Amino acid sequence: MGRLSVSLCGIELTNPVIPASGTFGYGYEFAELFDLDRLGTFSFKGTTALPRFGNPTPRIAEAPAGMLNAVGLQNPGVDKVIAEELPKLKKVFHKPVIANVSGFSIEEYAEVCAKLDKEEQVGWLEVNISCPNVHGGGMSFGTDPRAAAEVTKAVKAVTTKPVILKLTPNVSDIVSVAKACEEAGADAISLINTVLAMRIDLKTRRPVLANTTGGLSGPAVFPLALRMVWQVSQAVRVPVIGLGGVSGAEDVIEMMLAGASAVQVGAANLVDPLACIRIIDALPAVLDRMGVKNITEIIGGAHG
């Protein structure tokens, strides 16, 4: 194992840096810019059973130290992902990929996960019970520990690969949701997804987003995400993946000190398509300054 190597549910990553779902498409678009194999892995675009056009526009807005999005899970549907997107990805990425799955019912989560579980390229299934930008799905499962556990059990019953539950920060007690997922069989927890937010246009006096509200991401949410990673990593025994506002190597180190075994990078990819490569390249110098030999030494290090 190299200096930056980490293990995620028994699968070795050459480094802990993972582009987050929704900010990296299905990967091959970025292959024109850099060698995707330099990444630890990545989480591809949230996939549902049927194709989705997403929410009406405008569905992106700027915010102080971040951005709002209400894309609404636009994707071609799982069958097309398997038939078209994964074969294209296989040509440019030669590591296991994280399949991000969304749904509007427990049955849909199970159906999509069962299909993707059979794909050789898929190493993990990241079950998104945290999307705040669709009505009647996603976050509605992630705000209730019992519902989160039901989704987890249904997915685990039809899969063989590690299952990661992606949690919403839009709850009063994220630890109870994380523990419910772990007890139901989750192999890892990823957090956080975006924070429910909005902006108003002073000229029109109407919400900027057609959906009214959207998810806030970017540096503005980093301290909140860090706090939740800290709390959850102390409450569960499974690995935790930290995300939310990560934009530099120091942010990755903070997340890992808080207890994350790996770190996802989201909005930063939309600002700088080379953000993840820049972070990977900068990590060794940060470890040198800290006197750390291997990055795994710092996981949970802030807990004392």
Residues paired with residue 163 on neighbouring β-strands, in sequence order: 125
**Which of the residues 9, 113, 131, 276 is marked catalytic?**
131
113 is catalytic: no
Single out the residue of 270, 234, 233, 266 nearest to residue 251, CA to CA: 266
Active-site residue numbers?
Answer: 131
